[in-house]
């Protein structure tokens, strides 16, 4: 199956795609470039392991995905702390678990058809994401960008499911507050 791979054409065929994939998840230009280069090197070292069950791009993307997860893991290990559930109850009704009226999300009022507004919204969202603590950003990105299952995220980042949900909740609260402050 080795014949199906064309390493000499990887940069031409896949570099832009892989770079966009990495940049979308890491949001650091130099690190994204480094991860793509590391992906190509790792793929060259593993050419013999390619079974041809997927396309070349899918295989390269899978390698890059694990490199991104390693970055998340490194970032998360530097800032991990168990979080408690105390202050989050300030935002919710104790009986029903619903938002308290003063904290309920406000409509963003976005016209989905305006590409300029979409671009501006994306820019504000990226800035807000970068303000999150490393572990929160890693968990949020893995869940909502990479669509990883919760169990896999907990295993990869070594957090308990309860801690995962508290962090996810707090990340969303922070993103909402940042978006309301910077977008509305």
Q: What pLDDT sits at residue 84?
A: 44
Percent pLDDT > 90 in the chain is: 18
Cβ pair 5, 53 in contact under 8 A: no
pTM, 2 dp: 0.56
Q: How far apart are CA 56 and CA 59, in angstroms?
A: 5
Q: What pLDDT sits at residue 1?
A: 40
Phi, psi of 50 (to 5 degrees): -70, 120
Domains of the chain in start order, with CATH, are 2-78 (1.10.1740), 87-182 (1.10.10.10)
- The torsion of the CA quartet 124, 78, 165, 82, rounded to 10 degrees, works out to -130
Residues 161-170 pLDDT 10s:
888 888 988 9
- Comparing C-alpha atoms, which of 56, 48, 49 is closest to residue 4? 56
Cβ pair 119, 110 in contact under 8 A: no
Q: How far apart are CA 91 and CA 27, in angstroms?
A: 30
């Amino acid at each position: 199956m080795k014949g199906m791979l064309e390493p000499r054409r990887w940069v031409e065929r896949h570099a832009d795609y892989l770079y966009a994939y990495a940049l979308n998840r890491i949001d650091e230009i130099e690190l994204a470039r480094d991860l793509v280069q590391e992906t190509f090197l790792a793929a060259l070292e593993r050419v013999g392991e390619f079974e041809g069950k997927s396309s070349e791009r899918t295989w390269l993307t899978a390698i890059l995905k694990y490199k991104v997860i390693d970055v998340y893991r490194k970032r998360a290990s530097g800032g991990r702390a168990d979080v408690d559930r105390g202050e989050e109850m300030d935002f919710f009704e104790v009986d029903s678990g619903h938002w308290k009226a003063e904290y309920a999300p406000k409509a963003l009022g976005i016209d989905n058809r305006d590409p300029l507004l979409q671009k501006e919204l994306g820019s504000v969202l990226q800035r807000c994401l970068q303000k999150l603590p490393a572990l929160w950003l890693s968990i949020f990105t893995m869940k909502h960008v990479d669509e990883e299952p919760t169990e896999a995220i907990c295993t990869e980042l070594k957090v308990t499911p309860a801690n995962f949900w508290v962090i996810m909740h707090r990340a969303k609260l922070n993103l909402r507050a940042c978006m309301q402050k910077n977008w509305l």
